[in-house]
Structure 1
Amino acid sequence: MASIFETRKKTSMAAILLLLGLLFVIWVYFDAAARSVGVCYGQIANDLPPRAEVIDLYKANGIERMRIYNPNSETLEALRGSNIELIIGVYNDDAQNLANNAAAANDWVQTNIKAYLPDVKFRYITVGNEIKPNDPMAPYVLPAMQNIRASIASEEIKVSTVIEMSLLGSSFPPSNGSFSDVATSYINPIVAFLATTGAPLFANVYPYFSYISNTKDINLTYALFTSPGVVVRDGNLEYKNLFAASVDALYFALEKVGGADVSVIVSESGWPSAGGVAATVENARTYYSNLISNSKNGTPKRPEYLETYLFAMFDENQKGPEETERNFGLFFPNKQPKYQLTSFA
């Protein structure tokens, strides 16, 4: 007969094993959540579902991260209590006022952020979407970021901006990645700000547009993540897809301007299902599926989870001028899925 001590020992061991099992389950759940892709909620359309239904659609499909392009009050109200993590954008045209007027920045933060805390899970505020160095708003992006951050006064919500990849003057091979001479006076101070504040740089990365601009030199399989072998060798780095090569070119460019510790978040990436060269439902399904799986493993230079946002939740019938711009949706406006994607995590 086992002694009381042995019985208690076995009971304690069983309890410990049960606790470890529960902790493992919890870790797996939160790790999966942390590695899930986000989806951009563009709203340039006149046939989209009510915002509350959109939030329900995100939740029903396990989409735990959202990017919106402006502080739409109806969207923010619908997000209350949803637990969806949010990137919220500042209108490009608002940058000048927010840069020149600290009181305006305080009002913006109070109206669009603090009024919804803690019910809405803000993660990032982006000032400017694809503003080019020679745009009239370019001089105001960084001062607006600084004023917004001062108004937030929180390390939990980071302030950044969104660039397009044309800011790179060189990107091939990826190790040659560098910002163009025109871009450096604009982007260098922003990178310094991000490095100081621990915020990431957001970039819209579209292999589709790179492919259609150079179908002679870029193979479709390289753009769709379906290349059977290595396409580009760059020192000890090997690339099978254009998406990873593009992101790594940006990482190399950041290193060259003092941003080695600045992480990159892909704020948009997608493939159109109609309206142009190689824009088919099958190609788009292939791209989105592979983008989801590849984001978990990062890039050859940074083989770690790469936070990525798919563009976009719905087709947007008022975008343009190209027909492809209206066909990036994962869902039709009637909320039916365009593709059978197995998971967003």
Structure 2
Amino acid sequence: MILCSMASFSSKATLLLLLGLLTVNLPITDAQIGVCYGMLGNLPSAGEVISLYQSNNIWRMRLYDPNQPALEALRNSGIELMLGVPNSDLQSLATNPDNARQWVQRNVLNFWPSVKIKYIAVGNEVSPVNGATAWFAQFVLPAIQNVYQAIRARGLHDQIKVSTAIDMGLLGNSYPPSQSYFRGDVRSYLDPIIGYLVYANAPLLTNVYPYFAYAGNPRDISLDYALFISPSVLVWDGQYGYQNLFDAMLDAVHAAIDNTGIGYVEVVVSESGWPSDGAFAATYDNARVYLDNLVRHVGRGTPRRPSKATETYLFAMFDENWKEPELEKHFGLFYPDKRKKYPFGFGGGRKWEVAAYNPFNATVPLKSDV
């Protein structure tokens, strides 16, 4: 068990407090940041949403299904897109290659290249051991392969990568990150997918939520570690030092892939966020600090992948009032009336508030399985 002692950091905490009173211009590399566009709420029109992305310098989007008004609004917008195949479509695409070709024609080729589709996420958080999604697991790989073949047949497989999005529940161990591995009862599902990703030179899409790891184990995981504000390395894993939970969780996925021995696969963080209300530790200030620091952090890579910036999609664009339970309504960067929830931005050399800035680039450890 590794805990963060605030007393030992008192002098640096004082400095952080003083810095929090200031506002400075900080050059931010925002090219790695996208935002997930969920639609489960009373939200603006697709055209208004695309304009909101553009006016806020958000140039990457994750869309969970091929919503036609959204795809039309994305034409010539300059926004790169991660396009989702809903879990409900997996069986159809897996069992009939013609269905996959028709899906690709209707939702990809009809919009390409005016819509800059970068990834197709075939299924989201499907797990063979999760009762809610277990039935879909048998269809994920064949659906990926059929969609990939339809993309390859048009010579677009180098521009559009086909993958799937997983959650951290597939890990059997995540602490320390170097000892991470995928659960034995998911290997027969996941190993062939990793093999395909190696073959297709495609990344694994992974949803990484330090909030849920912290909220599930606040005794052993420091809030400062989860929010990127611990002022020094708190976990040493061999040669790798960890100052934040995000890096530890992401490197646990890197290590789990490496430990399969199948081959090298990059990881794209397809969701990460922090709720501003609705549950334990879900506060406006925690969400603001987490999201602001995450945007600042992802250009630096992780201890295991220091030279590779971490492409990351923030969840989500809006508070979505149709979602349940309550905390799921409060992940938005914007309110449904398009007002910004938080003061920070996404580029353009703007001023960023420093209250959440961590000049020591620090964080805390992942104690146990996420």
CA distance in 2, matches of 1:198, 1:142: 15
Partner of 1:61: 56
Q: What's the offset of the Cα at 1:97? A: 1.0
2:171 corresponds, among 161, 165, 168, to: 168
The amino acid of 1:50's aligned partner reads S
The amino acid of 2:317's aligned partner reads M
The amino acid of 1:56's aligned partner reads S
Partner of 2:141: 142
2:252 corresponds, among 249, 254, 257, to: 249
CA distance in 1, matches of 2:251, 2:235: 12
Partner of 1:312: 316
Q: What's the offset of the Cα at 1:258? A: 3.0
Superposed CA deviations along residues 7-29 of structure 1, whole A, max 9, x for unmatched, are: xxxxxxxxxxxxxxxxxxxxxx9
- Helix, strand or coil: the match of 1:136? helix
Q: 1:91 to 1:85 in 2, by over 3 A?
A: same
- Helix, strand or coil: the match of 1:228? coil
Superposed CA deviations along residues 117-154 of structure 1, whole A, max 9, x for unmatched, are: 12100000011100012300101100000000101112
CA distance in 2, matches of 1:106, 1:273: 41
- Helix, strand or coil: the match of 1:282? helix
Partner of 2:93: 98
Superposed CA RMSD: 1.4
The amino acid of 2:37's aligned partner reads Y
CA distance in 2, matches of 1:344, 1:88: 24
- Helix, strand or coil: the match of 1:86? strand
Partner of 1:194: 197
CA distance in 1, matches of 2:298, 2:29: 12
2:83 corresponds, among 66, 80, 88, to: 88
CA distance in 2, matches of 1:144, 1:185: 16
Q: What's the offset of the Cα at 1:342? A: 3.4
The amino acid of 2:316's aligned partner reads A
8 Å CA contact retained: 1:251, 1:260: no
From the two aligned structures, give the one with the greater helix fraction. 1
CA distance in 1, matches of 2:184, 2:135: 18
Superposed CA deviations along residues 208-252 of structure 1, whole A, max 9, x for unmatched, are: 000011011001001001111211110011001000000001000
Aligned positions of 1:124-143 closer than 5 A? 124-134=119-129, 135-143=134-142
CA distance in 2, matches of 1:284, 1:258: 37
Q: What's the offset of the Cα at 1:98? A: 0.5
Asked if residue 39 in structure 1 is aligned to residue 35 in structure 2, the reply is yes
Q: Where in structure 1 do 4 or more consecutive aligned residues deviate above 4 Å? A: none
Alignment gaps of 5+ in structure 1 = 1-28
8 Å CA contact retained: 1:292, 1:344: no
- Percent identity over the alignment is 51
1:117 corresponds, among 87, 97, 112, to: 112
Q: What's the offset of the Cα at 1:256? A: 1.4
Partner of 1:208: 211
The amino acid of 1:85's aligned partner reads E
The amino acid of 2:151's aligned partner reads I
CA distance in 2, matches of 1:259, 1:312: 33
Aligned positions of 1:223-302 closer than 5 A? 223-302=226-305
Partner of 1:52: 47
Superposed CA deviations along residues 279-317 of structure 1, whole A, max 9, x for unmatched, are: 111110100011011101011110121000000000000
Asked if residue 108 in structure 1 is aligned to residue 111 in structure 2, the reply is no
- Helix, strand or coil: the match of 2:82? strand
Superposed CA deviations along residues 145-172 of structure 1, whole A, max 9, x for unmatched, are: 0000101112210100000001000100
CA distance in 1, matches of 2:347, 2:46: 20
8 Å CA contact retained: 2:34, 2:312: yes
Q: What's the offset of the Cα at 1:182? A: 1.0
Asked if residue 341 in structure 1 is aligned to residue 344 in structure 2, the reply is yes
Q: What's the offset of the Cα at 1:183? A: 1.2
Q: 1:291 to 1:259 in 2, by over 3 A?
A: farther
Alignment gaps of 5+ in structure 2 = 1-26, 349-370
Superposed CA deviations along residues 156-205 of structure 1, whole A, max 9, x for unmatched, are: 10100000001000100000110001111111000000000000000000
TM-score, normalization: structure 1? 0.89
8 Å CA contact retained: 1:95, 1:144: yes
8 Å CA contact retained: 1:36, 1:64: no
- Helix, strand or coil: the match of 2:135? coil
Q: What's the offset of the Cα at 1:343? A: 2.5
